Amino acid sequence: MHATLPLLNSLDFPPIRRAALEALQVNLTYRCNQRCLHCHVNAGPTRTEAMTDESLGLLHQVIDAHPVHTLDLTGGAPEMHPRFREIVAHARREGLRVIDRCNLTILSEPGYENLAQFLADQGVEVSASLPCYSRENVDKQRGDGVFEASIAGLKKLNELGYGTEGSGLILNLVFNPQGASLPPPQARLEADYKAHLAEDFGVSFNHLLTITNQPIARFGSTLVSKGQFGDYMQLLRDSYRPENLDAVMCRSLVSVDWQGFLYDCDFNQMLELPMATTGLIGRDRPHLRDLLRTATLEGNPIVTRDHCYACTAGQGSSCGGSLNEQG
């Protein structure tokens, strides 16, 4: 049982409006071969939710109809969706940048042995979770044996050219703090990661992306059970920096859930806070099919709550890492 989370209903977070739509972040499935403490999706091996063929058909139509340039595939483990490869291949044929939010251990699972080769052949950008370069810390957060399997996955990707300068195959690592704290400066931590992983394991990568833990779902429940929720929320509020508002991911991204419904970000999706319907047709809960009926979302209001302080605290945080240090 998870602890009950306090209601996130901030009325004082500054209003934000959408810019031009550039990216679709699609949660293909909640199924995952891991069950991580910090996971805001509550993903795991027993989850069965997965995007239907109907919604996938609409996704392809939206990609064809809108000038989006990025398809960001997440989960769960997005690769566990049975049509993952078809989705990737379609988007790449349309010239989209495709990001696979990969947990690395999936590359060693039975039935996925040639997944890394597929990603390389398609030129998919891999954004891989590795919350530390220490075996003890990673296994504590993600489960026994995860670190070893993650290093094996990184080596497999490196052998295919990922993380090698000039290869065109981008490999980024993702860091989440283990507890109720903000991430350290991204550039400094990236240098530490690169030095340790190269020296200890002969592993290379392009960039480290630091992401602030969201006070929702599994991590939020852990904070409540430890009596740390209030202090963490106060830390996020006290660390708010207004200059981060211009760069938050929700201004140019639409998050799509496994049923095809639309949200301003993946975190709102988990909180069941759908996109505002301004500019969309006939729905209180916008869906992929509505994106086929509207030319633009620019100017639409973005739905905000207390958890939005996590994206605007300190150096800022998004699925692309620190807002102040993105390349």
Q: What is the pLDDT of residue 170?
A: 98
Fill in the DSSP letter of residue 47. -
Q: What is the pLDDT of residue 11?
A: 59
CB atoms within 10 A of CB 123: 14
* Cα distances (angstroms) measured from residue 312 to each of 72, 154, 243, 272: 21, 30, 8, 21
Q: What is the pLDDT of residue 287?
A: 93
Q: Can you list the positions of beta strands (E) in the chain?
A: 23-27, 70-74, 97-102, 125-129, 171-175, 207-210, 253-256, 262-263
Q: What is the pLDDT of residue 281?
A: 59
Q: What is the pTM of this model?
A: 0.89
Domain parsing of the chain, residue ranges? 23-312
Contact of 265 with 27, CB cutoff 8 Å: no
Tell me whether strands 207-210 and 125-129 are parallel, antiparallel or unpaired.
unpaired
State how far the Cα of 122 lies from the Cα of 170, in Å rounded to an integer. Answer: 12
Divide the 327 residues of the chain into consecutive groups of 10 and give the mean pLDDT of each group.
55 87 95 71 83 95 90 94 96 96 94 96 95 72 78 97 95 88 90 94 94 85 90 93 92 95 92 83 81 86 92 80 59
State how far the Cα of 294 lies from the Cα of 298, in Å rounded to an integer. Answer: 11
Q: Which CATH superfamily is domain 23-312 in?
A: Aldolase class I (3.20.20.70)
